[in-house]
C-alpha cells in the first residue's frame, strides 16, 4: 500500500527520500530512525531498542490513492470534509498493453508549464523544424468549462483555407494538471503535471495508440511516438516556458488574445482554487 509523508525527518530534517525500507518500515538515511506506515517512530538506534519515541517524533502523513496508473496525494493538511475528487477526465486512456509512459522534470514553474500545455497556436513557430509553418490560423476554436474541466477544440489551418480544415486538436484539462490530448481517433495522450517546488514541475506523459493493437508491438509503437515527442518536440516547449518572463504565468503577466481562451479559463480556476484552499492536488 502506498504511503505519503513529508520528506523531512522529524529528528533533524534529513531527506527521507534518500532512505530505505527495512522490514516494511522507512529508515532514515542519516541516523537510522525508523517509521511505520502510519508515521509513528518505532526505533531510535542511538537511544537503544527499549527507547520510547515521543509522539513528536512522527511523520506528517498525507492521504494517498492509486488510480489511473498514478499515485495521487492530497497535501492540503487535515481535511475537514471529504477529500477533493481526482481531477481525472472521463474517457482519457488508461494504462494497457498498447500504451507507454515517460516522465521528466522541467526547471519551469507550474503555471508556465500549464500555459504551454494548453497552447495551440505556437505549433508552427516554436516547432517550425517539424511542423508545417503555413498552418498559423486557429479557427474554429471553442472553449468551454464543465465543472473543473476546461475543454478546448481547435483547428490550425492555412490563412487562405476554409474554416474547419487543416489539423484538429482536442485538449481537455482536469484542473489543476491532468490533460487529455486527442491527436487522432487512434492516438490519444494523457499528461499529468504537478509542481515539485516553486521552480520545478514534474511531467508524466502516456500515449495510447490503436494503429497496431498487438501486444508488444502496441507498446513499442507508443514508446517510439513518445520518444519522438520528448526528444524532438518537447525540448522546444521547455525552452519557451523555462525562459518566459516573469517566471510565473498569470492573467496579470501577459496580454491575452482570443487564441488563449483555454489558458484564461484555467487561470480563473487556479485563482479560485488558491483563494479558497491555498493548495492543489498532485500526482506522481
- Structural domains of the chain in order of their starting residue, each with its CATH number: 4-62 (2.102.10.10), 99-283 (3.90.380.10)
pLDDT of residue 252: 94
pLDDT of residue 1: 84
Phi, psi at residue 273, to the nearest 5°?
-65, -45
**Per-residue pLDDT tens over the stretch 20-76:** 999 999 999 999 999 999 999 999 999 999 999 999 999 999 999 999 999 999 987
Q: Which three cell numbers stand for residue 279?
A: 493548495
Q: What is the mean pLDDT of residues 219-240?
A: 95
User: What's the gap between Cα 205 and its chain centre?
Assistant: 8
pTM: 0.89
Give me the percent of the chain exceeding a pLDDT of 90: 87
**Per-residue pLDDT tens over the stretch 108-167:** 999 999 999 999 999 999 999 988 999 999 999 999 999 999 999 999 999 999 999 999
Mean pLDDT of the residues in the chain: 93
Q: What is the mean pLDDT of residues 191-202?
A: 96
Amino acid at each position: 500500500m502506498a504511503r505519503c509523508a513529508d520528506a523531512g525527518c522529524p529528528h533533524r530534517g534529513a531527506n527521507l527520500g534518500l532512505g530505505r525500507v527495512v522490514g516494511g518500515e522507512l529508515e532514515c538515511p542519516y541516523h537510522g530512525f525508523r517509521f511505520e506506515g502510519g508515521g509513528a517512530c518505532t526505533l531510535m538506534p542511538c537511544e537503544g531498542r527499549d527507547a520510547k519515541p515521543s509522539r513528536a517524533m512522527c511523520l506528517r502523513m498525507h492521504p494517498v490513492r492509486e488510480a489511473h496508473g498514478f499515485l495521487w496525494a492530497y497535501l492540503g493538511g487535515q481535511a475537514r470534509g471529504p477529500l477533493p475528487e481526482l481531477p481525472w477526465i472521463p474517457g482519457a486512456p488508461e494504462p494497457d498493453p498498447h500504451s507507454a509512459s515517460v516522465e521528466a522534470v522541467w526547471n519551469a514553474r507550474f503555471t508556465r508549464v500549464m500555459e504551454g500545455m494548453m497552447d495551440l497556436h505556437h505549433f508552427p513557430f516554436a516547432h517550425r523544424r517539424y511542423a508545417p509553418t503555413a498552418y498559423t490560423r486557429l479557427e474554429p476554436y471553442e472553449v468551454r468549462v464543465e465543472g473543473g474541466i476546461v475543454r478546448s477544440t481547435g483547428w490550425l489551418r492555412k490563412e487562405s483555407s476554409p474554416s474547419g480544415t487543416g489539423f484538429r486538436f482536442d485538449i481537455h484539462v482536469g484542473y489543476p494538471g491532468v490533460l487529455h490530448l486527442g491527436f487522432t481517433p487512434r492516438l490519444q495522450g494523457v499528461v499529468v503535471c504537478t509542481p515539485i517546488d516553486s521552480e520545478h514541475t514534474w511531467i508524466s506523459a502516456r500515449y495510447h495508440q490503436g494503429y497496431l493493437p498487438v501486444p508488444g508491438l502496441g507498446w513499442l509503437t507508443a514508446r517510439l511516438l513518445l520518444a519522438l515527442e520528448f526528444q524532438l518536440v518537447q525540448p522546444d516547449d521547455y525552452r519557451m516556458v523555462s525562459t518566459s518572463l516573469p517566471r510565473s504565468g498569470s492573467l496579470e503577466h501577459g496580454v491575452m488574445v482570443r487564441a488563449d481562451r483555454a489558458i484564461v479559463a484555467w487561470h480563473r480556476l487556479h485563482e479560485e482554487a488558491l483563494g479558497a484552499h491555498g493548495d492543489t492536488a498532485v500526482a506522481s
